[in-house]
Structure formats: structure tokens, C-alpha cells
């Protein structure tokens, strides 16, 4: 967890400064702006995420805090896993950490095979760590690397906050649910079902889910 002081937002515009390339990423119909506007409009936990949690067995979910572009350090290399939103949520069943990966039409990026091509020692160290927490063995080159590190980032934060469960939720603003098949493949390999709590090799309960806000845009 990055040690920092965070200031409450007044509007979606306050999210813009956390982006790596604000001029390129802050555009209507793209995930960064869609996410900021949706979360600010929700005034708490967005309804689509509340529906996901309730369907997974978590009752009376209440948002304690949400931080845009939250960075979770990982072993190997200097780049952290940067969640579009990190949320800490209280439920009747206990505390949850949620790493939100927001999408409109953007893909999940390179596969593991593409990412580790000509891998440095740092990349090899990171991949070994990700695989160990997720219990991955065998050939995973076809999986999307982003799904691995974003899911692990939530597991790490669950330990940091002593939460009962970690969640990685894809918040899709596209009406056709683009790239959902990438998530399905990932779940098949880690032996979990979409929207249902399971356990990883680390022993921490994990929820991987897909949510679709009522407000949808298409880039």
C-alpha cells in the first residue's frame, strides 16, 4: 500500500490529475472519465457493484472509501498495479477490498506470453509471485497479464486492511460487454466462477466479477 495523504473530491474533474496522461485519457466515452462521473454520481457504492456483492452473498454493503488510480506495489520491477478505483467496503459478512478495472472499449492489454517476451529478472520474479498467489501452474501465456496483477493487488490490499475477502471487479461501460471472454478464460484457469466467492492458493477468499452500470457509453 502506498503511504500518502488523500483529499476528498468535489467532482469528477478531481480524478483527472491522477491519470498518467490526462490529455489523452480524459475524454468522454473512455473509461477514465466514465468511471469518475459514475462514481461521483453514485454518492457512495455504485448500484451495479452493490448488485454484484449482494448476488455473491454480501448484504448491506457500505462504501467506506474509494480512491482513484490506487497503486499497489508488486515484487519485481518498479511499476505498481494501478487500479482504476480501489474501494474499501463494509458488509454484514465483513470488510472487502475491491480493485476495480474499468472498461469501455479498451482491451485488457498484452497476454502473459507477450508481456514476458525477452523477460528481465524483475519480470520473472513478478510472474513467479503472481502465479504463487493465484495458484497458477502450466501454460498461462494466453491469459491477459492485467487480470493477473489486478486480481493479486486486491489480495494484497485485503491483507493490508485485514479484510475478510478480496474482489476484482470489471466495471464495463460498453453495451456489448467487450472482452468478457478474457475474464472467463482467466476464471477457468484459477478455478473460480464469475460472481462467486472462491479461494486462491493463498487461502484468502476471492471474488472476481463483471458489472455493468446502467449508464453506458461507447468510445
| Predicted confidence (pLDDT) per residue in 188-198, tens digit | 999 999 999 99
Identify the pLDDT of residue 214: 73
- Cell numbers describing residue 98: 475491491
Give the number of other CB atoms < 10 A from CB of residue 85: 23
For the cut 60, the answer to whether the pLDDT of residue 217 exceeds it is: no
* Mean pLDDT, range 13-17, rounded to an integer: 92
pLDDT recorded at residue 23? 83
The C-alpha atoms of residue 84 and residue 210 are separated, in whole angstroms, by 14
Q: Give the closest residue to 102 by CA, choosing from 206, 215, 13, 211.
A: 211
Residue with cell 446502467: 214
What distance lies between CA 194 and its chain's CA centroid?
A: 14
Q: For residue 142, give the 3-state DSSP assignment.
A: coil
* pLDDT, tens digit (0-9, with 9 covering 90-100), for 109-131: 999 999 999 889 999 999 999 99
Q: What pLDDT, on the 0 to 100 scale, is given for residue 3?
A: 57
Residue 20 has pLDDT above 60, yes or no: yes
- Give the distance, in angstroms, between the CA of residue 92 and the centroid of all CA atoms in the same chain: 22
Amino acid at each position: 500500500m502506498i503511504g500518502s495523504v488523500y483529499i476528498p473530491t468535489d467532482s469528477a474533474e478531481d480524478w483527472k490529475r491522477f491519470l498518467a496522461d490526462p490529455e489523452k485519457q480524459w475524454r468522454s466515452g473512455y473509461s477514465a472519465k466514465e468511471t469518475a462521473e459514475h462514481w461521483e454520481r453514485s454518492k457512495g457504492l455504485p448500484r451495479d457493484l452493490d448488485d454484484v456483492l449482494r448476488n455473491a452473498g454480501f448484504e448491506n454493503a457500505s462504501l467506506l472509501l474509494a480512491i482513484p488510480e490506487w497503486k499497489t506495489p508488486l515484487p519485481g520491477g518498479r511499476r505498481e498495479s494501478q487500479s482504476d478505483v480501489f474501494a474499501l467496503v463494509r458488509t454484514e459478512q465483513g470488510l472487502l477490498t475491491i480493485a476495480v478495472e474499468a472498461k469501455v472499449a479498451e482491451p485488457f492489454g498484452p497476454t502473459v506470453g507477450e508481456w514476458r517476451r525477452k523477460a528481465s529478472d524483475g519480470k520473472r520474479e513478478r510472474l513467479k509471485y503472481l502465479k504463487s498467489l493465484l495458484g497458477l501452474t502450466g501454460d498461462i501465456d494466453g491469459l491477459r497479464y492485467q487480470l493477473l496483477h489486478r486480481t493479486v493487488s486486491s489480495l494484497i490490499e485485503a491483507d493490508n486492511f485485514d479484510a475478510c475477502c478480496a474482489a476484482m471487479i470489471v466495471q464495463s461501460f460498453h453495451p456489448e460487454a467487450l472482452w468478457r471472454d478474457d475474464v472467463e478464460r482467466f476464471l477457468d484457469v484459477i478455478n473460480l466462477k464469475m460472481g462467486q466467492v472462491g479461494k486462491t492458493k493463498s487461502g484468502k477468499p476471492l471474488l472476481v466479477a463483471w458489472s455493468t452500470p446502467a449508464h453506458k457509453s461507447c468510445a
